[in-house]
Homo-oligomer: A and B are copies of this chain.
Amino acid sequence: MTLRILKGHIVQTPSFGALDIAENAFLVTENGKTVGIFNALPDRFGDGEIVDCGDRLIMPSFADTHFHAPQYPMLGMGMDLPLLDWLNTYTFKTEYEFKDKDFAREVYKRLAAELIANGTTRVCVFSSLHREATIVLFEEFEKAGLTGYAGKVNMDRNSGELLTETTEESEKETLRWLDEVSDFRRIKPVLTPRFTPTCSDRLMAFLGRLAKERDLPVQSHLSENTSEIAWVRELHPDCSQYWESYAKFGLFNDKTMMAHCVYSDERERKALKDNGVWVSHCPDSNVNLISGTAPVRRMIDDGVKVTLGSDIAGGAQLEMYRVVTAAIRASKIKRIETDWNDAFLTVAEAFWLGTAAAAPFFGAKGGFAAGEPLHAIVVDDASLPPPARRLSVIERFERLPYLMTKDNIVAVYSDGKKVK
């Protein structure tokens, strides 16, 4: 039994709108799992190793619930192009390079290190369609200390010359990939139909059966932009809305993470809620690709389970604290668009979206709940602009998403282990 005790200012957002602060308090962990938070250290923990974080902030680490790992090499590029040109000029060509395992290892090793350095410890991530590169992703992400889900992409139509696989190949490679990753402990497989237009009915049906038989999670894209929605309507005239093209194959339930949902109207939001589907809101990507402004606050108010995704490389920032501010900005844009009717997201609310909100998707309780493996960052804000007076811990917390960089993140704990 290993007792480790972090001492410092403990800040967390355990539920939407809540902001719990314990100053100069003790976060006790036993074998990497949280025991509790104490203002004074109980005698029974007297033997523990105390990590004194001094005046620093101890906060939950981030969860990035939607991004494309093989698009990391093109981060910040092609932002002047319309979506289809962007896909053809950059995205498909870049993902194609992951046929090369060595290139994949170089990129995924670097990406994993950047994620950890920036305080992201939970991920739900798209690989490319390449089985071997996907195994490399599992290896490098797990080695770096990341946890969560990663998926080999399935795409057997409408995908251009470079990236199409046949339905048979897609099925076979998926099964082989699942066999090959069965021993990973922290990164687990998630079935990943790229999106409805790139997956035949037969492939979708196969994935739906597989999800059910093996109790696997699913990730895909939903209602990101208007032309995509029109395309799905053409492909599935039997579906009155986009989400039904997933639902009819058993790919729309409480283990499903759907990215974007920019154009999910009241009916689609109700379907998301009723089916317990998770939404990954990707505010930076939605602006960069001129997709639209997602009704993020409205979705939350409607009871949809919303989380945050960097969506690199549609998003240009993998730093989830910056995605937190992008979500705030998206909600403020929506407030302007609705003539100041829709509420905006506060810093605490958006921080919750980027941390605790996603924990149940990963089978955990949010924040520093007792019994949960520790997922935390320690932040030193001494290098930030000198304030006019002594700031409260709340104020220090509130400016972090806007101002911090990875240099301020002095320690990262993932699944109970110190990984930075």
Measured CB to CB, the residues of A under 8 A from B are: 72-80, 93-94, 97, 103, 106-107, 110-111, 114, 287-288, 290, 292-293, 316-317, 325, 328-329, 332-333, 335-337, 340, 344, 346-347, 384-389, 395, 398-403, 405
Contact = CB atoms under 8 A, between A and B. Distances in A.
A292 B325 CA distance: 17
Contacts of A403: 75-76, 316
B287 A329 contact: yes
Contacts of A336: 290, 292-293
12 contacts: A73-B386, A76-B398, A76-B400, A77-B395, A77-B399, A79-B398, A80-B347, A97-B389, A107-B385, A111-B385, A290-B336, A337-B337
B388 A290 contact: no
B106 A386 contact: yes
A110 B383 CA distance: 11
Of all A-B residue pairs in the complex, the 3 with the closest CB atoms, nearest first, are: A76-B402, A76-B399, A316-B402
B347 A385 contact: no
Given A288-B332, A386-B73, A346 B80 contact: yes
Given A80-B346, A403-B75, A325 B316 contact: yes
Number of copies: 2
Contacts of A76: 398-403
B290 A332 contact: yes
Contact of A398 (B77, B97, B317, B398): B77
A70 to B, nearest CB: 9
Contacts of A79: 328, 347, 398, 402
B328 A290 contact: no
Given A80-B398, A332-B288, A399-B76, A388 B110 contact: no
A395 B389 CA distance: 44
Contacts of A395: 77
Contacts of A388: 73-74, 93-94, 97, 103
A66 B75 CA distance: 29
Contacts of A97: 388-389
A75 B329 contact: no
Q: Determine which residue in A336, A388, A398 has the highest number of CB atoms from chain B within 10 A of its CB, and name it.
A: A388
A332 B287 contact: yes
Nearest to A399: B76
A344 B402 contact: no
Contacts of A316: 325, 402-403
A395 B90 CA distance: 11
Given A75-B399, A76-B402, A79-B347, A386 B107 contact: yes
Contacts of A384: 75
Contacts of A74: 387-388
Contacts of A398: 76-80
Nearest to A404: B76
Contacts of A401: 76
A224 to B, nearest CB: 13
Nearest to A262: B336
A214 B325 CA distance: 44
A327 to B, nearest CB: 12
A399 B78 CA distance: 8
A405 B405 contact: yes
A295 to B, nearest CB: 13
Contacts of A72: 385
Nearest to A77: B399
A398 B73 CA distance: 14
B290 A75 contact: no
A58 to B, nearest CB: 20
Contacts of A340: 290
A293 B333 contact: yes
A261 to B, nearest CB: 16
Contacts of A293: 333, 336
A333 B333 contact: yes
A406 to B, nearest CB: 10
